[in-house]
Amino acid sequence: MSKRDLKKYLSELNKEQLEEQLIELYEKFSPVKVYYDFVFNPKEDKLLQDAKVKISHEYFPIKKPGAKWRPRAKMRRSVAQKLIKHFIMLGVDAFVIADIMLYNIEIAQTYSSQNLIKQELFYKSIFNSFEQAVNFIVSNGIFNEYKLRINAIQQETLDQKWKNKYDFEAILEKIDY
């Protein structure tokens, strides 16, 4: 069904029928419920904190009480990417999205400063996250608000002697700031 067909169909419904359909969608489909829950009660600060906890557990998992071993870090970039995509879909403020994007990189750098990481893919993945974050921040016109954090991330790649440190530098050179 095209958007035009949908508009035509909806225009033929009365207010009560429209309400019934929306309630049915709300009850049947979890994404619709999540969307409306956010629209009517946008607790962006709670969403941000929950996302930061999930991302930090990817690098610094918590030992469960009574467990004899500590789980090892999974370092999955996909966890943060899903959260960021979810935030964008909900229409969360660009400042909150930028914050979580940069936090994801910062926590990965904190982990790499304390642990030797041999997988080349880790560094490439963090670079991709950095590039996406900078592009998002620039396109939303909020670069000046995040300039210090972005520069600190780039400097950390130099301090930790990442093999792709110059790629991070190249991203910032493209920006006229």
Q: What is residue 39's predicted lDDT score, i.e. its pLDDT?
A: 79
Q: What is residue 142's predicted lDDT score, i.e. its pLDDT?
A: 96
Same domain? For 79 and 155 the reply is yes
CA angle, 123 then 59 then 125, to 5°: 20
Residue-by-residue pLDDT tens, the chain, 177 positions: 898 988 888 888 899 998 999 889 889 988 888 888 887 878 888 889 999 999 999 999 887 777 777 788 898 889 999 999 999 988 899 999 999 999 999 999 999 999 999 999 999 999 999 999 999 999 999 999 999 999 999 999 999 999 999 999 999 998 865
Q: What is residue 134's predicted lDDT score, i.e. its pLDDT?
A: 97
What are φ and ψ of residue 35, in 5° steps? -60, -50
Same domain? For 89 and 10 the reply is no
Provide the domain limits for residue 51.
Answer: 42-174
Identify whether the C-beta of residue 102 lies closer than 8 Å to the C-beta of residue 142: no
Global pTM reads: 0.81
Same domain? For 149 and 119 the reply is yes
Q: Which residues contact 34 (CB under 8 A, 6 or more apart)?
A: 90
CA angle, 30 then 80 then 122, to 5°: 145
Same domain? For 7 and 91 the reply is no
Q: What is residue 176's predicted lDDT score, i.e. its pLDDT?
A: 65
The count of structural domains within the chain is 2
Same domain? For 73 and 144 the reply is yes
Q: What is residue 65's predicted lDDT score, i.e. its pLDDT?
A: 76
Same domain? For 5 and 56 the reply is no
| Tokens 């000046």 found at | 144
